[in-house]
Chains A and B, each alone.
Chain A
Amino acid sequence: MSRPSSLIYDRQARSLVFQVLLILALVFGAWWLGSNTLVNLAAQGKTLGFGFLTQTSGFQINATLGTWLMEYNVGSSTYLDVYVIGIINTFLVAALGIIGATILGFTMGIMRLSKNFVIRSFATVYVEVLRNIPLLLQLFFWYFAVLRSLPNRRGQIEIFEGAAGINITGLYLPAPLPQDGAGIVGVAFIVFVIAAFWIGSWAKKRQYETGQRFPAFWAGVAIIFFGTALVYFVMGQPIDWSFPVFKDTGPLLRRGFQIGNGMAIIPEFIAVWLALTLYTAAFIAEIVRAGILAIAKGQTEASYSLGIRPGTTLRLVIIPQALRVIIPPLTSQYLNLTKNSSLAVAIAYPELVSIFAGTALNQVGKEIEMIGMMMIVYLTFSLLTAAFMNWFNARVKLVER
């Protein structure tokens, strides 16, 4: 009965033994790696610990949103500040990239399905070229070939006279300077946005009940725009604008854009944003195209036979159904874009990998802690995205019949 060979054929016993072996191998591997690491660290005279986070950092970071928000100063800011600045800058470029790539990607995806040959082939060429060239090469192209051929720091290309200009040191735009009462304008803006959404849902409900339509979109836009403008003027225009100042006379070394006026957007940011947007848009275009093609042709034909116009058909019949197919891969493209923003290290845009795992790591030398901290940021974002995906899939499934 209890001959060992009978246990061998026992499914549960086999799987139990195998799993125990697996755990043992894992524990042994972890112990081996851990002990090696400790020996190596000891040999290098290093210890583990997060004490370095409160040390002050000793390097300059290019002025970006992160440094502005954290009020970064060499000598007084800590490595924890550097970490936070890295995260802010990563998500800044990722968020703006996602917005840009979504708009461009949807446009290109719909253009690829156009009946018009010119529009269709333009989108096809765009997608095929941008998709098949490495992102890093595109990044180098924008940064080293395009932005480096802009006028030098004593010259500029004027975009709006006295308000916006670009040269090799970056793009200069007017900067808003909130005064007393600007907060109220901000609150009012949010309130009006909420009101616009409320009007939208009210109009929808009314249309379902009475069949009467209400131009909710334009009403919403008008409320947000005029309402905010009204509050803005009632509060006595509480936002001052700082315009960039460009000098092309005077001592040679003083010419160019004057520091402290307007808002400067560094060329590294522009290059990363452009590359990420254009590259990811090509993938999004393919996802959108596949999503729309996945909707049966009968849907379009039924809609046409009801007398609905092509544009309205696309907006009310096709896209809502296609979104169900589009959103899961779209989310993973957003995730890819966020991860790809780490390529910015190649042109020294001050994001997480570049300043924390690059410059700061070189100064502090805490490889394990710092790379671990960097990974946690990306992993958290991935897990959040995965959680959203699961939630979305569950929600879509309920709608499905």
Chain B
Amino acid sequence: MANARDKNYEFVRREDAPILPPPATEAGITGWLWQNIFVSMADYTSIGAGIRSLLMAILSALILYFGGTQIYALIDFTIFSAVFSDPEGIKREACWTVDQGGVLPSGWHGACWPFVVAKQKFLLYGAYPAEDLWRVNLTGLVGLVGMVWVMIEQLPYRREVGAAMLSLYPLMAFILLTGGNSDAEFSNIGIWLVIGLAIISAGRLGKRGFLGPTFAEFATLIGFTGWVFLIFNAVRGVAAVDFGLEPIDTRDWGGLLITLVVAITGIVASLPLGIILALGRRSEMPVARLLSTIFIEFWRGIPLITVLFMASVMLPLFMPEGVNFDNLLRALIGVMLFSAAYMAEVIRGGLQAIDKGQYEGAQAMGLSYWQTMRLVILPQALTHVIPGIVNTFIGLFKDTTLVSIVGIFDLLGAAQSTIADPSWSSHVQALSVYVYVALLFFVFCFGMSRYSIYMENKLSKSRSH
């Protein structure tokens, strides 16, 4: 039978239809604009749809106008209208309008950057002596390099660098920032070091069975105690060495330095405590479980401000006479306990996500509880919750601003006290420094939240089969 094509019917097409470009509403810039903006306001087929489209158009226009003017106002305030320099050194008058006795046009509203520049050192370091700023900078630089090293996956020795960042770096930071040279006596430390060594060797001997079978059971624990003694006193010893650094009281610290010290110490110190609490809350021992739960819920139930109040008012009452913490240490203890409770909940989430088979597998291998946790469960659980830990850190980083309420000059506290400086007083003084501080916080927090999202994606990729 003949093909329809051969029969030469008029209605049968003989050439391919031309390949048309995609419709303007589907591709290219117009397509994007159509699909992302105009499609929602182009339906006028019925009265209801028409009203909805119209409302959508009005709403979009309003939001565009509102958002646009806000963003323009911010850019105008920080750049276009801002005063950038004060060449004559006239301080506050550089940011005064004609009405106030300055030179700027009436109604002027812009940032007073010379003020922020003049206060820059105070905002970043507080009253830290200017000739010793290299110590802070060195600490910051080493910390930054170490952190970036640990985060970039192509670099070698990441594990070693990470270990050093958690062990040697805090000691170095402590000595550099405070000046070290604590008044502990070397002979005293020496005695404790010898005691520590003795305990370790006793543990070693006991393990080999020289001291009887009963003792051998406890040998590991005793050896561990010895190491704790040894390391604790070695740290005390190093902190007591006179490196020739000028001692600097924490009262002279301030600004971003305090913010970073409080946030980083809080998070690093709260990790081990949080792990112990999380394990305690999931423990089979009722007493441990109850105590951990009470501890966690107590700290999570009260605002950080009350914790800081408690640390600054009640902590001195709890300590024996003569023991006196400085202000910063009190706040640090408060922040640490507070964030440990939050950390414990994050880690508990990670522990709960571990498959039961992992516990059973470890038990079948004959691992003890602590071996199971250290070698099998915790490594998985902690990697699982890295995003959660970063989020806790972001929260803590923002919450450090609260220490300014108990009289510690963190970044925000320092900013607040620069506003009280009459030699720079102008109607944009407060706003200028707030914008600057907000920008600093935003950069830190936004950067960390991006990192946490990146980690989340990476982890979820590695977890999907």
Contact = CB atoms under 8 A, between A and B. Distances in A.
Nearest to B309: A357
Contacts of A122: 63, 66-67
B317 A368 contact: yes
Given A36-B319, A116-B60, A15 B441 contact: no
19 contacts: A18-B285, A19-B285, A36-B317, A37-B318, A116-B60, A117-B37, A118-B67, A122-B63, A132-B445, A140-B434, A149-B427, A340-B303, A343-B402, A346-B405, A353-B303, A353-B306, A371-B306, A371-B309, A375-B302
B412 A119 contact: no
Given A15-B284, A119-B63, A145-B430, A379 B302 contact: yes
Contacts of B314: 367-368, 371
Given A134-B441, A375-B306, 8 more contacts: A22-B288, A39-B321, A129-B442, A137-B438, A140-B416, A342-B305, A345-B405, A375-B310
Nearest to A385: B301
Contacts of B66: 122
B431 interface: yes
Contacts of B36: 115-117
B65 to A, nearest CB: 10
B404 A136 contact: yes
A351 to B, nearest CB: 11
B321 A40 contact: yes
A125 interface: yes
B438 A133 contact: yes
A395 B441 CA distance: 41
B349 interface: no
B301 A134 contact: no
A129 B445 CA distance: 10
B399 interface: yes
Contacts of A118: 37, 60, 63-64, 67
A116 B40 contact: yes
A79 B40 CA distance: 59
A367 B318 CA distance: 11
Interface in B268-307: 284-288, 291, 297-298, 300-306
Contacts of B442: 129, 132-133
Contacts of B248: none
A343 B67 CA distance: 28
A19 B402 CA distance: 37
B132 interface: no
B371 to A, nearest CB: 15
Q: Which of A145, A361, A374 has the most CB of B within 10 A?
A: A145
B256 to A, nearest CB: 13
A122 to B, nearest CB: 5
A159 interface: no
Contacts of B394: 132
B437 A137 contact: yes
A23 B302 contact: no
Contacts of B170: none
Interface of A: 3-5, 8, 15, 18-19, 22-23, 26, 33, 36-37, 39-41, 43, 114-119, 122, 125, 128-129, 131-137, 140-141, 144-145, 148-149, 339-340, 342-343, 345-346, 353, 357, 361, 367-368, 371, 374-375, 378-379, 381-383, 386
A133 B401 CA distance: 10
A140 B306 CA distance: 19
A340 B56 CA distance: 36
A375 B301 CA distance: 8
A122 B64 CA distance: 8
Contact of A133 (B284, B303, B441): B441
B291 A367 contact: no
Given A36-B318, A118-B64, A140-B412, A128 B287 contact: no
Interface in B410-445: 412, 416, 419, 427, 430-431, 434, 437-438, 441-442, 445
B243 interface: no
Contacts of A15: 284-285
B214 interface: yes
B63 A22 contact: no
A5 B213 CA distance: 8
Contact of A134 (B63, B305, B399, B431): B399
B163 to A, nearest CB: 29
B146 interface: no
A141 B308 CA distance: 23
A352 to B, nearest CB: 9
B56 A116 contact: yes
A37 B317 contact: yes
A131 B36 CA distance: 25
A44 to B, nearest CB: 9
Nearest to B300: A382
A19 B287 contact: yes
Contacts of A378: 301-303, 306
B398 interface: yes
